[in-house]
Structures are given as C-alpha cells and as structure tokens.
C-alpha cells in the first residue's frame, strides 16, 4: 500500500498534476499493477477512536497535533520491494514536476493477511 502524506492545508493540486497522475494511474490499472486508489477526506471530518490507559475515547477532528496527514492511497501488486519503491518515487517525481512548491512524502507498506501474497504493497 502506498500512502501520500502532506500538510492538510496544502490546497488543491494543479490541473497539470491531476492530469499527469490520472494518466499514470490509468496505465497502472491497465497493466494490472494498481488494484485500488483514492483520495481521503479532511481530518476535520474524521473521528478517531483510541484505547489508552484502559479507556476508549472518541475524538472528532480536526487534530491540532497533526503535522502531516494521509491525503491519498493506492494499493499496488508488485514483484518486489524495489518495484514498489520505484512506483512510489514516481508519485513524488510527478509532484515535483507539476507542483514544485508541494512538500510531502510517500510511504510504502506491505499488506499482510487474507489471500494476498507477501509481495503486495
């Protein structure tokens, strides 16, 4: 799984980036590499349920302590960790090319369990 993390108030992506990402994702879906992808709603509309100190609490967003939030995700099916990292790096390359002032990160994590094999990221 690939997470795109950024400041919440980063604003809307430029049209050129949206188009480039759309083309990239369309090709990844066509190649069978991308299984699912999407953007995530604002943390101002999120609810966190936490277990701490033996108690369960519920907190509605926004969260003052959040420096970066996950703004989007994709689930990819790759043959190696290197291929997953290369795919994630491509996301940052497109951001750099089409939105040079954007700052954030992309995180790659394996998905374990179910009927998915160990190479799915």
Please name the residues in contact with 50: beta carbons below 8 A apart, sequence gap of 6 or more. 56, 57, 58, 59
What's the confidence (pLDDT) of residue 9? Answer: 84
Write out pLDDT tens, residues 60-100. 887 767 678 899 999 999 999 999 999 999 999 999 999 99
Residue among 66, 62, 84 nearest 74 (CA):
84
The superfamily CATH assigns to domain 2-108 is Dimeric alpha+beta barrel (3.30.70.1060)
For the chain, the domains span 2-108
Top pLDDT among 14 and 120 is at 14
The reported pTM is 0.79
Length of the chain counted residue by residue: 121
Residue 96 CB: number of other CB atoms within 10 A? 12
């Amino acid at each position: 799984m690939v997470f795109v993390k950024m400041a919440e108030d980063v604003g809307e992506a430029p049209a050129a980036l949206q188009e480039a990402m759309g083309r990239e994702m369309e090709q990844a879906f066509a190649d069978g590499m991308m299984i699912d992808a999407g953007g995530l709603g604002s943390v101002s509309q999120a609810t966190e349920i936490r277990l701490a100190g033996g108690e369960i609490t519920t907190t509605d967003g926004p969260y003052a302590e959040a420096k970066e939030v996950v703004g989007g995700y994709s689930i990819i099916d790759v043959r190696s960790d290197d291929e997953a990292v290369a795919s994630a790096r491509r996301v940052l390359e497109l951001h750099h090319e089409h939105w040079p002032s954007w700052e954030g990160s992309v995180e790659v994590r394996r998905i374990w369990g179910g009927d998915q094999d160990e190479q799915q990221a």
